[in-house]
Amino acid sequence: GFSVSGSDEPLVAALGEDIILPCKVDTPVPLEELELEWIKKDTSSLVHLSIAGEDQPESQHKSYRNRTQIFHEKLLTGDYSLKLKKTEVQDEGKYRCVVHSRTQSEEVVVELKSVERLFVTGTNGPLFVYAGGEIVLNCFVDTHTPIEKLEVQWLKAEDETLVHLFVKGEDQPESQNQLYKGRTELFNESLADGNFSLKLKSVGMKDKGIYKCNVHTNTESAETTIELDVGPSVLHIFLYVFSIGSFLIGLGTVIQAGCYLFSKSK
């Protein structure tokens, strides 16, 4: 007889990566007797079938075509593990590794607990704000990873200046560059929904540039970039227009006086 073993702990995969679902027997089944089935437990879909060491791809569910592999060179040693390629979110769940010989059938269940995904999106096109105002730089995170295990960095791209840091579920104001202290804010009530947009207050001309929202998990990272353009404040524009207007009025007065004097001289 033989017994089958798998993994004592649930498995975690990164989206798009390959993962091995372990399945081994203590006493190898003779190859000519071996029938090996991998089945998705919740849907009863046939993930992989091997008979006498030969794969049967025509029998497997279409969603697993060209995405599964057993290690034929290890079958004689009792290693019936399955490589699942290019993991997808729908691959999450429990898998039955069923081993048949002519006289016995045994199985073990292996759980793929989660397929971690990480997508980060922002704003298309540059943003504009007048100096002295405030602006929201958008950053939306789609992931399975709890926010307590995320690290979110807002950086000024030109010199990698740290604008804002969020680690282990909390802001880290002591880490940010002095230029941004007291001027940045996340939307705490929306963090659980993946909204890591940054409010930048009291914007100055030096804030003009490209910003990066960089998000890290234990296994991967992703980012989005936003370009910020800053114009003179409304007050500056008013003073500029006023000074130009005053200049033109003064110039007109001078011209008018000159014309008057010129006409009097005649």
Q: pLDDT digit string (tens) for 217-253?
A: 987 899 999 999 999 965 554 444 445 555 556 656 6
Work out the percent of the chain whose per-residue pLDDT is above 90.
78
Domains of the chain: 4-116 (2.60.40.10), 118-234 (2.60.40.10)
pLDDT (0 to 100) of residue 257: 55
pLDDT at 132 over 90: yes
pLDDT (0 to 100) of residue 153: 98
- Identify the band that residue 196 occupies on the pLDDT scale cut at 50, 70 and 90: very high
Q: If you average pLDDT over residues 126-132, what whole number do you get?
A: 95
User: What residue has token string 């048949």?
Assistant: 100
153/196 Cα distance (integer angstroms): 10
Please name which of 50, 52, 49 lies closest in space to residue 29, comparing C-alpha atoms: 52
260/244 Cα distance (integer angstroms): 24
pLDDT (0 to 100) of residue 242: 47
202: left (phi over 0), alpha (psi -120 to 50) or beta: left
Please count the CA atoms within 13 angstroms of the CA of 191 that sit on its side-chain side: 21
pTM over 0.75: no
- Identify the band that residue 115 occupies on the pLDDT scale cut at 50, 70 and 90: confident
Min mean pLDDT across 30-39, 79-88, 192-201, 257-266 is at 257-266
- Identify the band that residue 262 occupies on the pLDDT scale cut at 50, 70 and 90: low
- Identify the band that residue 117 occupies on the pLDDT scale cut at 50, 70 and 90: confident
pLDDT (0 to 100) of residue 246: 57
120/147 Cα distance (integer angstroms): 14
Mean pLDDT over the full length of the chain: 90
The structure tokens listed for 146 are: 């709890």
**Do residues 184 and 201 lie in contact, with contact meaning Cβ atoms separated by under 8 Å?**
yes
